[in-house]
């Protein structure tokens, strides 16, 4: 596959590394060949970088297997997930999921990405519902600006929420940014 045919969300292999395309910019000037600037995420390390390749450069498309599994528990060094149909259990080292662990509670359905039996990572739902376990009391007075206060959710993650949110409430949190999205129904 030519590098200019890549689109966001595609997976490919280049120089022994597995990448996911985050964004692509094609740049063509009158004096030179088209250059593809591809913002990619390395699926093994999680690093996001930008690579530039000329239009004649070929990459190998990769097809990943995706399995829906439920989060069971944290055993101290790894997180354990289970396939609800086959009851197969998979362990993923906690160091690979430093961001994702903030949004995982028991029973959360996630998608695990596999490449030839190698576990590359997990895909969280876009939004998750979590319970507030600790938050600062509301401070009256500053109502002109959109005032926020710190709150801790059941997973231990700390985020900013509006003043009207109290302990024990269920809120919706975006997993891509980690921001408050609204009250849960």
pLDDT of residue 141: 61
Segment 156-160 mean pLDDT: 92
Instruction: Check residue 81 and give its pLDDT.
Output: 92
Band of the pLDDT at 113, cuts 50, 70, 90? Answer: confident
pLDDT at 117 exceeding the cut of 70: yes
pLDDT digits (tens, 9 = 90+) for 68-108: 999 999 888 888 999 988 988 988 888 888 888 899 988 88
Instruction: Write the Ramachandran bin of 30: left for phi over 0, alpha for psi from -120 to 50, otherwise beta.
Output: alpha
Dihedral sign of CA atoms 157, 163, 169, 172 in order: negative
Q: How many Å apart are CA 155 and CA 68, to the nearest integer? A: 21
d(CA 112, CA 123): 6
Confidence of residue 142 (pLDDT cuts 50, 70, 90): low
């Amino acid at each position: 596959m030519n590098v200019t045919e890549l689109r966001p969300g595609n997976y490919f292999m280049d120089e022994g590394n597995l990448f996911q395309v985050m964004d692509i910019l094609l740049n063509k000037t009158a004096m030179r060949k088209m250059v593809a600037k591809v913002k990619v995420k390395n699926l093994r390390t999680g690093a996001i970088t930008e690579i530039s390749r000329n239009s004649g450069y070929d990459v190998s498309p990769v097809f990943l297997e995706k399995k829906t599994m439920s989060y069971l528990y944290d055993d101290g060094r790894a997180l354990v997930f289970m396939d609800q149909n086959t009851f197969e259990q998979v362990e993923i080292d906690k160091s690979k999921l430093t961001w994702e662990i903030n949004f995982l509670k028991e029973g959360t359905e996630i998608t695990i990405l596999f490449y030839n039996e190698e576990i590359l990572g997990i895909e969280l739902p876009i939004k998750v519902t979590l319970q507030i376990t600790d938050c600062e009391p509301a401070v009256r007075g500053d109502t002109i600006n959109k005032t926020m206060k710190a709150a801790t959710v059941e997973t231990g993650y700390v985020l900013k929420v509006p003043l009207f949110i109290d302990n024990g409430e269920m809120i919706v949190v975006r997993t891509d940014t980690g921001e408050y999205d609204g009250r849960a129904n």
